[in-house]
Amino acid sequence: MPLKKGEFNSGIKNLKPFPKGKSGYHHNLRIVKCQFCGNDFPTIGPCAKYCSTRCKEKCRPDNQKKDFICEFCHKRFKRRATNNVGRFCSRQCSGLWNIANGNLNYFYRAFLYLPHRCDICSNNDFSVLLIHHKDRNRNNNLLENLQILCANCHYKIHFGNGRVRHTKIIPIINYLKTKEVNNIAIT
């Protein structure tokens, strides 16, 4: 039964088709069995055969897939050939290849060419080291503009010794201290 004027669909289980030419769900929700894995899944599409794109891709015949060799790890893999696919077996290999071939972002460039220690306090704990842009322009990624700092020194450069943050907090702390002193005096 199509919807009448003023009627609304109430919940996905009670869907009614809209009249032709109107927007909205025009098919009832139905349960379909995936042709690859056999799991049941709900769909409103008229031609749904697979529960996911992974199942759809695995169900493709092997004659549509071609053999490739990853340019980074040299692992063999099969993939459907499209425009720029087939150079790498994964996104990780693609990213590592870019780094190895000089397409570095500023983080890798700094750690590749600068000493691995904080320029201010000489902290060499790798887990706390960050990259600082000296002119504070994140688009200027020249090596001369990059500086390796620990998290504490980087914070101090950007926020001073906490005075920017503390200008709002100190009055609140002072108020709470006076309130505690008054509460202690009353009780």
* Alpha-carbon span 153 to 147, nearest angstrom: 11
* Alpha-carbon span 46 to 99, nearest angstrom: 45
What amino acid is encoded at 100 in this protein? A
CA distances from 22 to 26, 33, 158, 166 (A): 8, 29, 56, 59
| Range in 38-42, 173-177, 183-187 the model is least confident about | 183-187
pLDDT digits (tens, 9 = 90+) for 72-117: 898 988 877 666 566 888 888 887 887 777 666 788 888 888 899 9
